[in-house]
Structure 1
Amino acid sequence: MPGGSGEKTEKATPKKRRDERKKGNVMMSQDVVAVATLFASYAALRFGLSLMVDAMTGFFRYCIGLVGSVSTDGASAIATELSSKSIMALAQSVAIPLIATVLAAVIATFAQTKLLVSFESLKPQFSRMNPLQGIKRLFSLKSIIESLKGVLKITILLVLIYRFVSGSLLVFSRYMSSDIGVALASMRDLGFKLILEVGVAFLVLSFFDYLYQWWEFERQLKMSKQEIKEEYKQTEGDPKIKGKIKEAQRKMAQSRMMQAVPGADVVIRNPTHFAVALRYKPGQDAAPVVVAKGQDELALRIVAVAEENGVSVIENRPLARALYASVEIGHLIPADQYGPVAEILVYVYKLNKRSFPQ
Structure 2
Amino acid sequence: MPENKTEKATPRKRQKAREKGQVAKSREIPCVMTLITGITVLYFYGSHMYQRFRGFSQYLFVNPSMEQLHLLPHLVLKEFAFMITPIMAGVLIVAIMANISQVGFLFSVEAISFDLSKIDPINGIKRLFSKQMVVEVFKSIAKIAIVGFVVFSIIKGEISNLITLMDREVGAIFKYLMVVSFKIIIYVAPIMVILAAIDYAFQKWEFERNLKMTREEVKEEFRQTEGDPLVKARIRSLQRQMAKQRMMKDVPKADVIIKNPTHLAVALRYVKEEMHAPKVIAKGAGIIAEKIEEIAKSHGIPVIQNKKLAQALYKMVEIGEEIPAVLYQAVAEVLAYIYRLRGEMNE
* Equivalent position amino acid for 2:240 in 1: R
- Any stretches of 5+ residues in structure 2 without a counterpart? none
Question: Is 1:217 matched up with 2:195?
Answer: no
1:57 to 43, 54, 58: 54
Residue 315 of structure 1, aligned match among 292, 305, 325: 305
Please say which of residues 154-163 and 114-123 is displaced more in the overlay: 154-163
2:25 alignment partner in structure 1: 28
Give the structure-2-normalised TM-score: 0.91
Identity of aligned residues (%): 39
* 1:101-120 alignment runs, 5 A limit: 101-120=91-110
Gaps of 5+ in 1: none
1:1-358 paired onto structure 2 within 5 Å:
7-67=4-64, 70=65, 75=66, 77-176=67-166, 181-353=171-343
Per-residue displacement from partner, 1:275-304 (whole Å, max 9, x unpaired)?
101112332333222110012222122122
Assess if the C-alpha contact under 8 Å between 1:278 and 1:291 holds in 2. yes
Residues 110-164 of structure 1: CA distance to partner in whole angstroms, max 9, x if unpaired? Answer: 1212122222211022333445544443333322211100111221233123213
Aligned-partner residue type, residue 107 of structure 1: M
Q: Return the alpha-carbon distance in structure 2 between the equivalents of residues 84 and 134 of structure 1.
A: 43
Task: Using the TM superposition, name which of 188-197 and 221-230 deviates more.
Answer: 188-197
Greater shift after overlay, 18-27 or 314-323?
A: 18-27
Could you tell me which amino acid in structure 2 is paired with residue 211 of structure 1? A
Secondary structure at the counterpart of residue 6 of structure 2:
strand
**CA spacing shift, 1:256–1:148, aligned 2, 3 Å:** same
Give the direction of change, closer, same or farther, for the CA distance of 1:132–1:186 in structure 2 (3 Å limit): closer
Secondary structure in structure 1 of the residue aligned to 2:318: coil
CA distance in 1 between counterparts of 2:28 and 2:177 reads 28
Q: Contact 1:319 / 1:340 at 8 angstroms: preserved in 2?
A: yes
Q: Deviations over 1:8-59 (max 9, x none)?
A: 2111112222222222222211100100110111111111101110121011
Q: Is the 8 A contact 2:7 2:213 kept in 1?
A: yes
Distance 1:239 1:338 in 2: 42
Q: How many residues align?
A: 345
**RMSD (Å), alpha carbons:** 2.2
Deviation, 1:178, is: 5.2
Distance 1:232 1:354, change over 3 A: farther
Question: What is the deviation of 1:108?
Answer: 0.7
Greater Cα shift, 192-201 or 339-348? 192-201
Shift of 1:306: 1.6
